[in-house]
Structure 1
Amino acid sequence: MRKIARWTAARPWLTKIRPAVLATDKVLLKLTKGRVTLVGIAGMPSLILTVKGRKSGQPRDIALLYVPDGKDILLVGSNWGGPGHPVWTLNLMANPDATVNVKGRSHNVHARQLTGEERTAIWPTLVKTWPAYNTYQSNTDRELRVFRLTPA
């Protein structure tokens, strides 16, 4: 499944069905209390990030692919290579204290955006887990945001 997921993620048509994929994922998340996501079904490491909305202050949940790095978690704000940054990245920048749910277990984390040389150095690790990050980066003019989440 992982090979199929990686191949599919690099296809340009995937961004066209993104709304259906996200809607399906939301239903799966609710039905399984965060234990099952489409990313997880595909054999990729997935989590649910809960972060306060920067304007509303209300908790916002999003299912994301993540890259483990020791005890830390790496996240990429790819938005599937779309033109704008995903909203969750803006929320995380405004409120870096968040919660992640990995396989039904919640953990408090603190996020820090990686930039410059630090971002460049970690990029090969990210692409090793999800090669489509290179495709997403080449499809947009913006630099994909990268975050390191450390246990709080």
Structure 2
Amino acid sequence: MSGTGRSTPPRLPPRWFIRVFWAGHRAVFRGSGGRVGLSRPKPGRAGLMRLRTVGRRTGDPRAVMLAYIEDGPNLVTLAMNGWGDAPPAWWLNLQASPEATVDLPGEERVVRGRAAQGDERERLWARYAELFEGDLDDYAAMRSRETPVVVFEPAAGGPS
């Protein structure tokens, strides 16, 4: 997992911009009745899905838009918070209750989320790194903790 070896960290947009962008994306998704805002991965580009979890403290439904790649029947994303240090709330919710639903273009899947470990994590990290043109490790170095690679497997008995 070697990055570009740059001496300065990669530049990120300001946190407020990231939050406004994703809020806008959610608004477009809701405003279009779910017809706009989701996409399948393509060569060199991640797809976009909506993850629906249950709040670990409130029990209320929560939804977030995430980039993802496919690994066979599994969907894979990174548990980052705009590269901020704190873990994202959706990841904390998923750890408390791994059953979730993902919305993809034209379909809904019931899934079970887990963190990839060992060789699987290394393999999936390398696949994600291709999307970042070698800079993924540089971005990850901005965090004090390892960025979890999250695998969503089809849940038994759910639609796939």
TM bucket normalised to smaller: 0.7 to 0.9
Could you list the runs of 5+ residues in structure 2 that have no partner in the other structure?
1-9, 156-160
1:123 equivalent to 2:125? Answer: yes
Q: 1:134 aligns with which of 123, 130, 137?
A: 137
Secondary structure of 2:112's match? strand
Kept in 1, the 8 Å contact 2:113–2:152? The answer is: yes
Kept in 2, the 8 Å contact 1:47–1:65? The answer is: yes
Secondary structure of 1:66's match? strand
Q: Which has the larger radius of gyration?
A: 2
Q: Aligned partners of 1:141, 1:90: CA distance in 2, in Å?
A: 17
Q: CA offset at residue 104 of structure 1? A: 3.7
Q: 1:111 aligns with which of 104, 110, 113?
A: 113
TM-score by length of 1: 0.81
Question: In structure 2, do the counterparts of structure 1 residues 36 and 127 end up closer, same or farther at CA, with 3 Å as the change threshold?
Answer: farther
Alignment match, 1:80: 82
String of CA shifts for 1:94-145, please: whole Å, max 9, x gaps.
1111000001411101111113443223210122234454343021111111
| Partner AA of 1:61 in structure 2 | A
Q: Aligned partners of 1:133, 1:65: CA distance in 2, in Å?
A: 14
Kept in 1, the 8 Å contact 2:114–2:151? The answer is: yes
* RMSD after superposition: 2.2
Q: Aligned partners of 2:136, 2:28: CA distance in 1, in Å?
A: 24
Identity score, percent: 29
Question: In structure 2, do the counterparts of structure 1 residues 24 and 39 end up closer, same or farther at CA, with 3 Å as the change threshold?
Answer: farther
Q: What is the number of equivalent residue pairs in this alignment?
A: 141
Could you list the runs of 5+ residues in structure 1 that have no partner in the other structure?
1-9
Question: In structure 2, do the counterparts of structure 1 residues 101 and 72 end up closer, same or farther at CA, with 3 Å as the change threshold?
Answer: same
Deviates more, 1:69-78 or 1:132-141: 132-141
